[in-house]
Structure 1
Amino acid sequence: MHILLCGSFDDDERDAWLAELQDALPDARWHLTVTPADAELITAAVVANPRPGSLRGLPNLRLIQSLWAGVDRLLSDPSLPDVPLARMVDPAMSAAMAETALWATLSLHRHFYAYARQQHARDWQQLPQRRADEIQVTLLGTGQMGSVCATRLLALGYRVTGWSLHGGTVEGLSLEHGEDALWPLLARSDIVINLLPLTAQTSDLLDQRFFAALRPGAGLINLARGGHLVEADLLQALACGQVGHAVLDVFRSEPLPSEHPFWSHPQVTVLPHVAAATDMRSAARIAAHNLLALRDGQPLSDLVERSRGY
Structure 2
Amino acid sequence: MDKQKVDILISSSVWDPKPWVEGLSKSDLVGNIHVWPTQADLTNVKVLFVWKPLDKGVIDLIPNLKWISSLGAGVDHLMTDPQIPEHIPITRIVDPFLARDMTNYVIMGLMMHQRSMLRHLDNQKSKTWDRITYKPLKVGVMGLGALGGHLAEKLVGLGFEVFGYSRRLKRIEGIKCFDESDQKEFLSHAEVLVNLLPVTPQTVNILNKQLFSSLPKGAYLINVARGNHLVESDLINALDDEQLSGALLDVFWEEPLPPSNPLWEHTKVTITPHVASVTTPNSAIALLLDNLKRLREDRELLHTVDLNKGY
TM above 0.5, one fold?
yes
1:154 maps to which of 129, 153, 156: 156
Shift of 1:47: 1.4
Shift of 1:120: 4.5
Shift of 1:24: 4.5
Change (3 A) 1:150 1:52: farther
SS in 1 for 2:26: helix
Shift of 1:57: 4.0
What's the TM-score once normalised by structure 2's chain length?
0.91
Deviations 1:66-98 (A, max 9, x none): 111111111111011221000111111111000
What is the aligned partner in structure 1 of residue 3 from structure 2?
A: none
What is the aligned partner in structure 1 of residue 73 from structure 2?
A: 69
What is the aligned partner in structure 2 of residue 229 from structure 1?
A: 230
Shift of 1:238: 0.5
Matched, 1:102 2:112: no
Task: Kindly indicate whether the alpha-carbon contact (under 8 Å) linking 1:25 and 1:288 is maintained by their aligned counterparts in 2.
Answer: no
SS in 1 for 2:153: helix
AA paired with 1:277?
A: V
Change (3 A) 1:24 1:106: farther
Tell me how far apart the structure 1 counterparts of residues 123 and 172 of structure 2 sit (CA, whole Å): 39
Change (3 A) 1:228 1:38: closer
What's the TM-score once normalised by structure 1's chain length?
0.92
Percent identical residues: 33
What is the aligned partner in structure 1 of residue 205 from structure 2?
A: 204
Change (3 A) 1:205 1:211: same
Task: Kindly indicate whether the alpha-carbon contact (under 8 Å) linking 1:56 and 1:81 is maintained by their aligned counterparts in 2.
Answer: no
Q: What's the C-alpha RMSD, in Å, of the aligned pairs?
A: 1.9
Task: Kindly indicate whether the alpha-carbon contact (under 8 Å) linking 1:53 and 1:80 is maintained by their aligned counterparts in 2.
Answer: no
AA paired with 1:265?
A: H
Shift of 1:29: 2.5
Structure 1, unmatched stretches of 5+, are none
Change (3 A) 1:220 1:31: same
Deviates more, 1:217-226 or 1:41-50: 41-50
Tell me how far apart the structure 1 counterparts of residues 85 and 39 of structure 2 sit (CA, whole Å): 18
Deviates more, 1:109-118 or 1:227-236: 109-118
Deviations 1:141-194 (A, max 9, x none): 00001111112111110011110123334344321111x311122122110000
SS in 2 for 1:88: coil
Matched, 1:252 2:253: yes
SS in 1 for 2:129: coil
Shift of 1:297: 1.6
AA paired with 1:190?
A: E
Tell me how far apart the structure 1 counterparts of residues 48 and 76 of structure 2 sit (CA, whole Å): 17
